[in-house]
Structure formats: C-alpha cells, structure tokens
Structure 1
Amino acid sequence: MRKNIEAIYPLSPMQQGMLFHTLLAPESEVYFEQFHCTLSGTLSIDRFEEAWQKVTDRHPALRTAFVWENLKEPLQVVGRRVKIRIERHDWRAKGEEAAEEDFQRFLAEDRKKGFTLNKAPLMRLTLFQLGERRYRFLWSYHHLLLDGWCLSLILKEVLAFYMAAVQEKPIDLPPPRPYQDYIAWLKKQDLGAAEAFWRKHLRGFAAPTPLGIDRTAEGIETRNLDSHEREHALSETTTARVDAFCRAQRITTNNLIRGLWALLLARYAGEDDVLFGATVSGRPAELPGVESIVGLFINTLPVRVRIAWEASFGSFLTRLQGEELEARHFEYSPLVEIQGWSEVPRGTPLFESLLVFENYPLDAGLLDLGEEIGISDLHFVERTNLPLTLFVVPGKRLTFRALYHTARFEAEAIERMLGHLEMLLERALANPETPLARLSPLTEGERHLLLEVWNDTAVPDFMPGTIHGTFERQAAATPERVAARSAKGSITFGALDRQANRIAHALRRRGVAPEVPVALLAGRSIETLAAILGILKAGGAYLPLDPGYPKERLAFMLRDSGARFVVTTRAAWEPFEDFQSEIEPLFLDEAEELLLQEPETPLDLPISPHHPAYIVYTSGSTGRPKGVIGLHAGAVNRFEWMWRTYPFAEGEVGCQKT
C-alpha cells in the first residue's frame, strides 16, 4: 500500500471547507461536479481511455484521495498509479427522447452515488453511444480535486494525447508543477497582515445581509440543499454595450457586476452596507508555472460594499475597484479564519449569496479537433452549500446563471431577481453619472403596481387621529367592558383609561411634553399597557425596552434616543442606576399612592396625528441599531385597515403578534 503513495500533504483552506461541508451533509450532493458534452465522429474509445490515463498520470491532483479519521488535521494522499477506466453504455437502440430521459436519470443516480473520499480516483468517466458516430460523454469529479480553470486545461491535454495516438504521432508535453508546490507557497503567507486587513474591513458587520426574496420563514428547510438553476442571457447588443462601458470607465466586467449585485442586495435588504461572497482565482503570479497546475486554487472571500446613495454610479465603481485591488493582496486568506476575525458569531454564515465570475469559460471552440471529432452541447452541473450563487459567464452574450436552494427560493423570485439585475444594468449603462439612488431595479409595470395599484388605499371620510384618542373614544363608548386580561386579572376600558390619565399627569409634572421620548422598561402586564397609553396622553413618544435584552444594547438605545424619562420598576432599573443623573425614573411598583393623587381626567394637549408616537430600534444586524420613529397617523391608519379588512364581531378575541 505504502509503495503506491507518491506524496502526503495538508489541504488548502478551501479544500478543508469543502471537505467539512461534504462530510456534514453527504446526501446533499454538495461539491459533486458533472461535465457532459456530445462527441460526434469516429471515436476510438480505447485510445480515448488511454488519453485520460496519461493525463491522470501527469497530474497528481487527479490521483489524490483524502484522509481525516484519527488525525489532527485532514491530509491529501497522492497515489503513484491510479487506474482510469471509461464506463461504456450502448444506447443506439434507444430513441432520442428515451435516451435523454435515461441520461437525466443517470445524472441524478450518479450524483447520489457520490464518492468515497479516501479512495482515488475521485472522478468517473462514462460514455454513452447514441449512434454510429455520436456519443454523450460524462465526466464526474469532486470539487476537492480541481477548479473551473482546470477544465479546459485537462480536456485539451486529453484530446492532444488522443489525436497523437490516432495519428500515430509523438507528443511531448512539458511536465506540470505539482499541486503540492502551491500548498507549500500557502504555508509561507503572512496571516498576521491578513488578519489586520480583514478585521478592519469587516469592523461593525455583525450578521449576514438578508436576501429579501426568500420564502416565508415557515417554508424554509435549512437542511434541504436541493438546488435548481435559472439562466438569463443578455442580448449581443447589450453585451457589446457592457464591453464599451467597461473600456470607457477603465474597469473590468467583474467589477461592474459586483457593483450591480451590491446595489440589488441593498435594495432587497433595505440596507446601505451589504456583504456577499465572491470567488477569486487564487493562482499566485509569483509561483512560476502556476497556470499549468491542476488543483483547487479558487478561494471565496467576503466583499463588503458601503453605498452612498448620492454618489454617481461611475464614482461608485471606481471606489469599488480600488477596494478590490487592495483586497487582492490577501486572496490567500482562509475563509474560516476571516469568519473568526469578523464580528459575525461562529455558527452564523458570514454571507448567504456568492458571486462567481467565470473568467475561464469552457467553449467548444477551445477544444477544436478539426474534422476528426466534433464537440458540442457542453454542460456543467454543480452544487454549493450556499443558498444562492450567481455565476457570470462572459461570451458573445453575457449570461447570468443562478444556482439556488429550492427550500429557500421560489423559481419566480429568482426569475424576477435576474430581470431586476438586467434592469439595473440597462439603467446604469445609459449614464454613469446617474446617482445610485435613482437606479431602480423595478420595471415600469412593477413601479405602476407599487405606486398606483397597491398604493390606492384612500378611505372615504377617514381622518387619522391619535392612538390614545382612538382608545379614549372606545373607553367612552364601552367603559365597563373588559379591555385586557393577564395572568393576574383583567381591567375594563374605563379603568384602564383612568389609570393611563393618572400616569399622563404624573409624567407631565416631570416635564414630559409632545415629541419628548420616554423610555418604557418593563415586562408585559396591564400596568405596562396603562403606561404606554399614559406616555402617549402626555404627548411623549414611548421607547420600548425589553428587560431581557443585554444591558449594553439597552444603554445604547437610552443614550442614542436622548430619553430623559423612563417608566419602569425598581428591579428592572437597578442595572441602570448610573443613569440616575441623566434620566428620571417613574417606578410603577412604588408610585401607586402617588398616582392616586393625580386627576383621572385626560390632559388637554394639542397632540397632532403627525406627532411621534413611538421609537423602535432595528436589530443592528449590519452595524449599530438605528432608531425609527413611528407617527400616530401611521399606527391609526394601520388599525383602520385591519378593522376594515378583518372586522371584529362583538365578543370576539383577537391574537395580535407583536
């Protein structure tokens, strides 16, 4: 056994990640790659098989297996001799339609079969004879072995050996460098400098950018990695405009699509700071002969894009290209380490979408064999562990290919997304000076639907009021009916209104006035409900603070909102006693006698429907939480719609999600 071992060495960081995900979900078919094409002409299958054997003998990566059990770290083991054979199927008797159905079935079964990763070769060759001079060829392999750059390299060598054998001519290809040399180069790179760069680059980013077009949460099955593809090809005219635009702006097509993808994610997520993944070739120019090495060089890195909406599209791309050039010095950085250097918690993905620019398009023209053998219908099938991957394929028609997990996305949502990407592109090409804020991905039909059809919500004779005013009218009409229940009891509309009025008077005496923020730090109870109404009756904008939140987050919200008053309990406020000089508390659990001395009648204050009613903070998933002000008019308008759309009958109880 040991006599057949040529070399043993560690995995690259990318290989380690792929191995981890393959072992984590072996049934998912992740990183199982399939290339198939049609061959036409007189094919010597034996010589074709011999050509594959010779190429396998040349490149150690094709003779590699992986071991990990009972080891400190996984290793790759290169065999001296690995036998290659082509599995042959004679389908000449099948009709074209039956042959296609059976081939698709074979592809699926082949994927399910997978590979035994500790046994080389981690690839299979299958040939289906469809006619006297027509074949379908399938090459299946694990992504651990090689990346897309290697496809044309290997296929060219196979066909060169084949043609030399057929024509009985000698062939002498220069020996390639082994993949092991790249692993040795990786070990010499400065991870300290990479860490400093990525920590600075990702500072303040704490959660992956939401994609915004997912299925509803109830429909998501995160362990289901079944994937589908959608393809969207631009016209030759648009592709020519893209090329001209990039030349004029002195940018790459890759840079242009990165910018457009960032803008689309920002629109979908409602963020101005987004993060996605992007693949880089990973082949270091300082490693001589690197272009001829077969192996896995690509790396996946995070791309953070901050969007200043007032900037022009042209200046945005220039800045983006500069940031891309800076990051290029650290392309060797392991993604698992970058994740650790970021503020995104372990176990949470750094990003959920990946942009892949295929600068190695596999074209049948690159594999031209003259009149001997024709090659056509080239197809590539792959799976990744990320929910959404966008491949950008150059050519006469620039093509977007979306690979997506069906558990996360509807096919229609992906179709719209690809259309939105083209719409952004068309508008950006028209004028690079266009401000980013004016680049909309929506079609004219979608804009009409949003602005005219869905926005036609006018209600005759409806005038929005205040939240507490709406409550007061109900309390006056049904004072003895139960307004709220809790585990400790219930309260009528009239009693709740009177209790809220007392709190409003107490707050007013402390200086609360219209538009003044008042924090509310308390659990869910009838007293809390009265406090909310009391704050609104005093003219304040209530700031809900959940006692279960971390102290640091609550302290930030108190300072950021500028609140000078808080309604709370003694126990809830205890961790914040150092705020005592800045914020005046009203303790609900100690103010019963004080409140009984306050009037039960409402305050006479000129509170407008357009005054602030509340302040809520975003999750802060992409940085600091942001306070958002809600107006009385907006809330009452929402109530009016809800009551009109889902009318209550007398005595019904509604469950309101909050």
Structure 2
Amino acid sequence: MNAEKSLKLARRFIELPLEKRRLFLDGLRAEEIDFSQFPIPADVPQADRQALSYAQRRMWFLWQLDPHSGAYNLPGAVRLTGTLNLSALEQAFACVVQRHQTLRTVFRQNPDDSLEQVERLASINVEHVDFTLLPAIEREQAVAAEAQQQSLHPFDLANGPLLRIKLLKLGADEHVLLLTLHHIVSEGWSMNVLIDEFIRSYDAFERNEAPSLPELAIQYSDYALWQRRWLEAGEQARQLAYWQAKLGDEHPIITLPNDYPRPAVPSYRGTRHEFAVAPELVEQLRALAQQHTVTLFMLLLGAFNILLQRYSGQNDLRVGVPIANRNRREVEGLIGFFVNTQVLRTQLTADTTVAELLAAVKETALGAQAHQELPFEQLVEALKLERNLSHNPLFQVMYNHQPQVADIEAIKTASGLTLGLIEWEGRTTQFDLSLDTYEKSGRLHAALTYANDLFDGATISRMARHWCNLLRALVDHPERRIGELPMLDASEVQTRVHDWNRTHVEYPTHTSLHVLIEAQVERTPDATALVFGAQSLSYAQLNARANQLAHELRARGVGPDVLVGIAVERSVEMVIGLLAILKAGGAYVPLDPEYPAERLSYMIDDSGIQLLLTQKHLQVALPQHIPVMCLDSLNDQQIARQTRAYSADNPVDLTRPQNLAYVIYTSGSTGKPKGAGNTRAALVNRLSWMQQAYRLTADDAVLQKTPFSFDVSVWEFFWPLLTGARLVVAQPGEHREPLRLIETIRQQQISTLHFVPSMLQAFIHEVGVEQCTSLRRIVCSGEALPVDAQQQVFSKLPDAELYNLYGPTEAAIDVTHWTCIDEGAASVPIGLPIANLRTLVLDANLSPVALGVAGELYLGGAGLARSYHRRPALTAERFVPCPFNQGERLYRTGDWVRQRVDGVIEYLGRLDHQVKLRGLRIELGEIEARLAEQPSVREAVVQVLDGKQLVA
C-alpha cells in the first residue's frame, strides 16, 4: 500500500468517533491490511505527538513513589581498547541524541496534575574522569566504584538529562564508557540500538563524514499516540477480558523463603548472580523441547516454575515476562520504552507430569502472545489491586529470555577500537527475584538478580544450582512427575539426611527408669526427694512406699505392657502411684479428673485398662465397671497395717527396653482422642540427654506444675529423681496463677521449671518476678516462643538460662532443643535434634527440601512412640518407612518447618487443622466432629482468635 493511501486511512480513523473505530478496523482487517503498520501522519498536532505511552505513565507513577532510588536506571559499562578519538565519540553521541526524541525529553507534572513530555534541545554532555595516575589494582577498583555509583544515582525526570555518559580514562589506549539511561526512555532493546548507532556514527565522524543512518519514519511519541488510539478503538476491552479470565479473582503473592524480613518500603538494591548452563545440557534441552513441540523459552520457564513451586510450596504461580513489544517495522530502530510485561500463570502440583507441565506452559505462552498489546499498567488498574509498597502487584518474580544477544566483544570500529562488556555485582532491582537467560555466541547464559533486602548471595547461588539440577532432571527423567525430579546435589542430601543427624550417644537405655532411680536412692537415701505443701519424703521413704504399692499392683496382675489408669489430683500419692506402676512393670495412663466424664469414660474403654488408681473423693465420678484402688493419704502406721503383706524392697525388674512406660492421650481429628504409647528405652534416652545437657545436682529443685496428662510432666516428675534433686509438686491451680507461682519459687528456692510460652509471658510481666533469683533453668515448649518473651526473660532474670524445646506426644517428650541467645533473629528456633534422635525436613515425596525452604518435619530414632494404642491403621499412616535407612521408621509430625544453613530448625506452623492454645494441643476437627453430631447443627467451623480464644 502506498504512503498516500496510508495517510488517508490514518486520518479517517483519527476523525471517527470512538464507537465507529472498531468497525473501521474490522473493515481494514477484511482487506488484510494491517493498520498497525501505518505511521502517524505528519500533520497530527504537536500536543498529541507529546503523548506518553502507557508504559511511560506507569514508570512515572513508580518513580514518584521513590524518585531518589536508582531502581529505574539502566546502566551499561563498555571497555574501549585502542586509540580513541574523543571528538568523534562526542559527535557520535550528539548525533544519536539528535535522532531520538526520547533522549532529548524530560517529564514534568503540571499544576493540574497532568503529566507533560517536554523536548529539550540542549546537547548531551560527556563527562571525563582520568584514572591514569592510579596503580593498576586501584584503577579497577575505582572503575567498579564509579560504575556502581552511576548505576544507583537517581535521575531528575523534570529537568533531565535522562542519559548520562561518563568516560573513564585508564591509559593512553584504554577507556571505560559508562552509559546510564532512565527506564522511562529506554530498555534492553534500546541499549542495543544506542550502541549500534554510536559505533556507526563514531566510524563516520572519525573519517570526517556524516553518518549514513536510515531516516526514522516516526518518533516515540507517534507510537504512544497510536497505542492510545488503537486500544481505545476496542482492542483494550478485548484483551482485558482475556487477562481477567486467565488470572482469575485471586492474585496470590509468591512467598519464597527470605533470608531477611520484607521491609515496608524496598530499597531496590540488587545483586546479579551470573552462572552458565553446560553446552551439552543445552543441546539435550533443545531436543527435549522439540519432542514436546515447545520452544526453549517454554522449557526453561517450565523448569523455573518447578523451582519456584519447590521453594514456595505454592501451586498457583504468577511469573512476570517482559516482551519487546516491537511488532511493527517502524519502531524497530527507535530508542524508547516499548517493553510490555505479561503475567504468565502456571498451576501445578507435585503430581503434575513433565509432559503436562510443558503443555500447560505452552498454552499459556501462546495465549499471552496473542494478547500482548494490553499495557500491564492498565491490567493492574482494571483488576483494582490493593497497592502495597513492599511488593509489586500481580507478580514478584520475573523471567526474561533473549534468544539472541549481540556479542559486544565481537564489535570493532573501523579504526580497530575494540569493545568489551564490564559486569559488576552491584545494581538495582524492582522485583524479589529475576531470572535472565540469553543466548550469545552459541552458548546459553543465565543470571539471577535478587533483592538484597530479602536474600543473601549463598541462597541465590543454591537456587541457581538447583535450577540447573532440575534442567538435568527434565532431560534424564522426562516421564516422571515433577515432584519426583531430583533438585538437590548429592552432597546436600548427605548433609541434611546424615551429617546433621550424627547424634549417637551411649545411654543406659537397656536399664529401666525405675532401676536408675533406685540407684539414686542408694546414693542419697536421706536426701529430700519429694515436697508437696507441708509434706515431704526422703528418697528412701518415697522408694519404699512406691515399692509396696508396686508389689500390690504386681499381685493384681500388673506387668510388662499392662496399662494402669491413674486419676488423681496433685498430691504425694500422684508421684508414688506413677513410680509404682513403672516399678511393677506396667505403663501408666493419666486420666485428668478435670476432664468431662464422657471423655474419661472413652479413654478408659479405649485404653482397655484393667485397674484404676484414684482417690476416694474422685471415685464416684469415675466409671464403675473396672477395679479401683484408692491412694488417699495415710499415716505411716496405717500404711504399714494396710500393706504389711507387701515388701518395701525393690521389686525384680521384669521389663524390656521396648515395653511401654506410659500411654498419653492427645486430640484426634476424627472427634476421638488417640493414645500414644512411649517405650521405656525412649524415656530413658530423653531423660539421660536432659541430664547431660542441663546438669541437675542435689542443690536443684524442680517445680512440677504441668498437668500429668501432658508429656512435659514426665520429665518434671522423673528427671529430678534420677539426679538427687528435689521434686516440688505445685499445689492445685498454682500453675495458672503467676503471683502464687512467684511465691512458691521464692519459698522453695526453685531452680528449674517449665512454661508454655503463653504462661511465660503472663509470668514474666508479673510484679515481683525479679525476686525469683533462684531460677537457673527455664524450659519452654508446647507452642512457639515469641522473641519478646525471650527478651523479657533476659532482661528480668539475667541469671536464668532459657531453653526452647519441641516434641509431639508421639515421641518421648522432646526431640529438638535450643539454648536461647540474643541473635537478633525474627523468631526463636526449635533447634537441633537431641541425642539419638533424627530430624528430617521433607517434601510430600519424602525428599529433602532446600535450605530455608519450608517442609514437613519427620522424626526418627530412639525417641519415637511405639504406636498409637489399638490404632494400627493410624499408626501405619503416621509412622512411615524411612526412605534413607532400611528398617527405620519416621513419624510425620504435620509441623511446617525450615532449616537454616547451620541445620537449626525454625517452626513455621501446622499443615493440618491442629492448633496450640495455651500449650494445649487441639484438633479443631475433633471439636467440629462432635458439634456436627448434634441434631440442630448442620455445619460447624472452629477457629482460634488472636491466639487466645477458641470460637465455634
């Protein structure tokens, strides 16, 4: 079509009312005429010519948020080797600036808040700096510092210039050229145009000739005007409808595991990590892409999505992809901000196959390509997203692939001046993470640019390595599900699975706990063992009473793995009863008298106990269909008469290490609690580790205040009795009243006690807590320990050590430990595995996750419970075969954690419907199931509000 007809059609289009423009375009399409190829007529008013593109308007908006950052700078550094003609260099840049309107414009905001683009005719200035007098090493350091400073130094959009040129002289035949443009007038394609036109102009001026560059058909403002009018003609509505349907109503933020907390306002400081993809792997990737009829870009993006899914745990991913947006011949040679951004949504799970993923990526990419003209900023505005300065809207991760990048090092001027690209680490970034891949000189290069606010270099280096591992896995295992693709190096697996679990320590686990206590009785028979209010017993007295009761229990049929229920209030008899059950060879089942009668009845029936120890005043409220023994307080003479048939000597030990020590019931998601049975060996292992770690002595007093239906009480009862310390049993209700607790600590000179963190917070803020100077050890477990509570302990009780322990009922009390320190971390870790325990952080395929990545915590080793009592199916579901050590079991905790680079574990939350409330482990599903049983309840939902209140 000739130019005259083009101009006529363009004028007709501009003159049409908006509602008729679409029909006009449809008619042109019917004639197979591409209106998008037409230049804007030369007689279009100058005011319209100064229109801004949508991309420029968005850049202005972003720049206004933080005009003093260098986040929108496009820096480049070129090494020039050979004889440099300074006059030709300056003339060449003046020529390029004169050709491109964008390089001569600034952007000003009018009093009415409208944005105006104003052309400046001033010539460009080339700044000269001489480094020739510096020693060689200092010269290179100075170049790097100058490049860094230029890349970060902000532009003034209102006054310009928006192109900075600085020439660093390093020697007679060596210079470094620093070019920095603001993103509002340039992008990657434009930088290539700038370098190309500079070289061609430089060659011409060096020959004293005028550059012979093709005349530009249009300027950038013509494109901006065309873009606005074309979209207004109906294209905007069509493409917007596509993107709204594609992206849906929910726009999740990708949550990669940060090394540092996300700031409210980013600094935009970034670092670029370059790495290479092996050439032989690239050829295999090309072959794989061809087999699946996808491009290399689609394959690389698919692998990047797998990486993001593994790191974030999210199955709905949004990745930003820039497109050159230069589909028209007239704009190919322009310098300006043409690039548009698309959001490519990928939905995947660990069960997605490689073929399914590549097909989904292909479909998404082709659909996006057919709707690429909609400006990203219009999409953001149409979706009415809530703006948040801490992260970008719609996506936080970018992927950019360039099939061919010019090799600047292959460029030479006619006079022999050679060019070389200089890379430096420091730069800026608008995104959390960006992956760039580009093909240059037949090689595939890659780089990850990351926000310094969020990540450190070691994390990104691992991420780059893992992406390459996934590329290799795609080639080696194209038939697999993506969750099965190996991502970690063999050395990483070795560290996570084996090196960090070298916890073996020899403990007397073949000796029963009560036998070890009996040995302590022999060492300190007259020392005080037990205190409850005004009552106290020596080690010999406690042992004798427990022995007499143990002999009677054995006479009633109690022996190894026989369960004995015990429902008593806090008392001396509570301790005697627990110890006696162990001595008889049985396992105790604690039944809290405060539990509802229905729950107690269920636990008694489910456990199958044949004998129940209790107190007379509690007997009436308990089920009557099983034998009962009452342990009411009696004086020595009465006990002697009652138990004269039973010896006070230690009974013969009949147990084996794998016999049960106790069965403690915990919440169950089905509406019924479940009993976890822990072995004697596991209990001895746990208490032996605690003594080795924390060293109780005869001078210590341990306050037992945890209800005995919780497994923390187990160490509170038996650790002091193993070591010659005093066991002080708190009075009923005392553990809930901080003032009474403070008084007991002072009176009894308590050195060691346990808190759930919520109770610790109430205690540590109580008036008078500073008087608890006897405290040496404060142990926390049961829920996450807040950093604030830790700081308060350090401040108010400086002589006390604070320990954070973690462990489910399905293991012997605790499985990890952490000695609290003021390390400035955002959370208090749960630490490292205790002796003879193993901790593994795995994904759904039982593969180790990367450092810092969230996964489920699995436990192995000596501390695991034997089973869920009478629940073989549930036992098989939660206690699974270990994929790393044949014959070993792992317990699935359902806890979401991650590991630091030192192996320390940080607790993140639950994977299921379970919560912790004031240290109580609660299955919300259990409550919902019971509510749903009521005839008047159709649906039930239970939640915890503010971490304090259970609401149904």
User: TM-score normalized by structure 2?
Assistant: 0.49
Shift of 1:423: 0.4
Pairing partner for 2:83 from 42, 46, 60: 42
Query: 1:70 maps to what in 2?
Result: 111
Shift of 1:379: 3.8
Query: 2:702 maps to what in 1?
Result: none
Query: Is 1:172 the counterpart of 2:305 in the alignment?
Result: no
CA contact (8 A) 1:27 1:112 kept: no
Pairing partner for 1:411 from 457, 462, 480: 457
Query: 2:164 maps to what in 1?
Result: 124
Measure, in 2, the Cα distance between the counterparts of 1:268 and 1:36: 34
Query: 1:376 maps to what in 2?
Result: 420
Query: 1:446 maps to what in 2?
Result: 492
Measure, in 1, the Cα distance between the counterparts of 2:133 and 2:893: 73
Letter of the 1:430 counterpart = D
Pairing partner for 2:338 from 275, 297, 311: 297
Compared CA separation, residues 629 and 90, structure 1 to 2 (3 A): closer
Pairing partner for 1:53 from 76, 94, 117: 94
Query: 1:386 maps to what in 2?
Result: 431
Shift of 1:19: 2.3
Q: Which residues of 2 match residues 442-481 of structure 1 at below 5 A? A: 442-454=488-500, 476=568, 478=570
Query: Is 1:229 the counterpart of 2:272 in the alignment?
Result: yes
Pairing partner for 2:471 from 425, 431, 434: 425
Measure, in 1, the Cα distance between the counterparts of 2:371 and 2:572: 70
Letter of the 2:281 counterpart = T
CA contact (8 A) 1:339 1:346 kept: no
Letter of the 1:504 counterpart = R
Query: 2:63 maps to what in 1?
Result: 22
Measure, in 2, the Cα distance between the counterparts of 1:97 and 1:137: 19
Shift of 1:154: 1.5
CA contact (8 A) 1:155 1:367 kept: no
Shift of 1:375: 0.9
Query: Is 1:628 the counterpart of 2:917 in the alignment?
Result: no
Query: Is 1:251 the counterpart of 2:300 in the alignment?
Result: no
Measured on the aligned residues, the alpha-carbon RMSD in Å equals 4.4
Shift of 1:474: 9.7
Stretch of structure 1 that moved more, 298-307 or 228-237:
228-237
CA contact (8 A) 1:82 1:120 kept: no
Gaps of 5+ in 1: 463-471, 482-493, 513-531, 542-604, 619-625, 639-655
Shift of 1:45: 0.6
Gaps of 5+ in 2: 1-45, 511-563, 574-588, 607-664, 675-868, 879-891, 897-909, 923-945
Letter of the 1:385 counterpart = Q
Measure, in 2, the Cα distance between the counterparts of 1:19 and 1:52: 25
Secondary structure, aligned partner of 2:185: coil
Measure, in 2, the Cα distance between the counterparts of 1:325 and 1:15: 26
Measure, in 1, the Cα distance between the counterparts of 2:179 and 2:566: 73
Measure, in 2, the Cα distance between the counterparts of 1:480 and 1:206: 60
Q: Which residues of 2 match residues 48-197 of structure 1 at below 5 A? A: 48-79=89-120, 81-176=121-216, 177-187=218-228, 188-189=230-231, 190-197=235-242
Map Cα deviations across residues 467-492 of structure 1 (whole Å, 9 max, x no partner).
Answer: xxxxx9897584699xxxxxxxxxxx
Pairing partner for 1:502 from 597, 616, 621: 597
Shift of 1:62: 1.0
Query: Is 1:330 the counterpart of 2:371 in the alignment?
Result: yes
Shift of 1:409: 0.5
Map Cα deviations across residues 75-96 of structure 1 (whole Å, 9 max, x no partner).
Answer: 32233x2311211122222222
Measure, in 2, the Cα distance between the counterparts of 1:628 and 1:233: 41
Measure, in 2, the Cα distance between the counterparts of 1:534 and 1:312: 37
Compared CA separation, residues 535 and 90, structure 1 to 2 (3 A): closer
Letter of the 2:394 counterpart = L
CA contact (8 A) 2:187 2:339 kept: yes
Measure, in 2, the Cα distance between the counterparts of 1:477 and 1:248: 72
Q: Which residues of 2 match residues 525-540 of structure 1 at below 5 A? A: 539=672
Secondary structure, aligned partner of 1:498: coil
Compared CA separation, residues 104 and 537, structure 1 to 2 (3 A): closer
Pairing partner for 1:350 from 383, 387, 394: 394
Q: Using CA pairs below 8 Å that are at least 6 residues apart, which structure has the higher relative contact order?
A: 1
CA contact (8 A) 2:253 2:395 kept: yes
Secondary structure, aligned partner of 1:21: helix
Letter of the 2:595 counterpart = A
Letter of the 1:198 counterpart = W
User: TM-score normalized by structure 1?
Assistant: 0.69
Shift of 1:410: 1.5
Compared CA separation, residues 223 and 429, structure 1 to 2 (3 A): same
Compared CA separation, residues 507 and 431, structure 1 to 2 (3 A): closer
Stretch of structure 1 that moved more, 161-170 or 410-419:
161-170
Pairing partner for 1:203 from 248, 263, 266: 248
Measure, in 1, the Cα distance between the counterparts of 2:453 and 2:435: 17
CA contact (8 A) 2:346 2:360 kept: no
CA contact (8 A) 1:503 1:535 kept: no
Measure, in 2, the Cα distance between the counterparts of 1:538 and 1:479: 32
Query: 1:528 maps to what in 2?
Result: none
Shift of 1:28: 2.7
Shift of 1:155: 1.3
Secondary structure, aligned partner of 2:158: coil
Shift of 1:329: 2.3
Shift of 1:239: 3.2
Shift of 1:263: 0.5
Compared CA separation, residues 63 and 474, structure 1 to 2 (3 A): farther
Measure, in 2, the Cα distance between the counterparts of 1:617 and 1:74: 53
Compared CA separation, residues 611 and 442, structure 1 to 2 (3 A): closer
Shift of 1:420: 0.3
Pairing partner for 2:304 from 240, 251, 261: 261
CA contact (8 A) 1:505 1:538 kept: no
Secondary structure, aligned partner of 1:330: coil
Measure, in 2, the Cα distance between the counterparts of 1:538 and 1:7: 70
Letter of the 1:157 counterpart = E
Q: Which residues of 2 match residues 571-586 of structure 1 at below 5 A? A: none
- Taking every aligned residue pair, what percent have the same amino acid on both sides? 21
Shift of 1:317: 1.5
CA contact (8 A) 1:128 1:135 kept: yes
Shift of 1:334: 3.0
Measure, in 2, the Cα distance between the counterparts of 1:182 and 1:429: 43
CA contact (8 A) 1:204 1:343 kept: no
CA contact (8 A) 1:10 1:74 kept: no
Measure, in 2, the Cα distance between the counterparts of 1:314 and 1:458: 44
Higher radius of gyration, 1 or 2? 2
Measure, in 2, the Cα distance between the counterparts of 1:124 and 1:91: 19
Letter of the 1:203 counterpart = G
Stretch of structure 1 that moved more, 40-49 or 231-240:
231-240
Letter of the 2:599 counterpart = A
Compared CA separation, residues 453 and 367, structure 1 to 2 (3 A): same
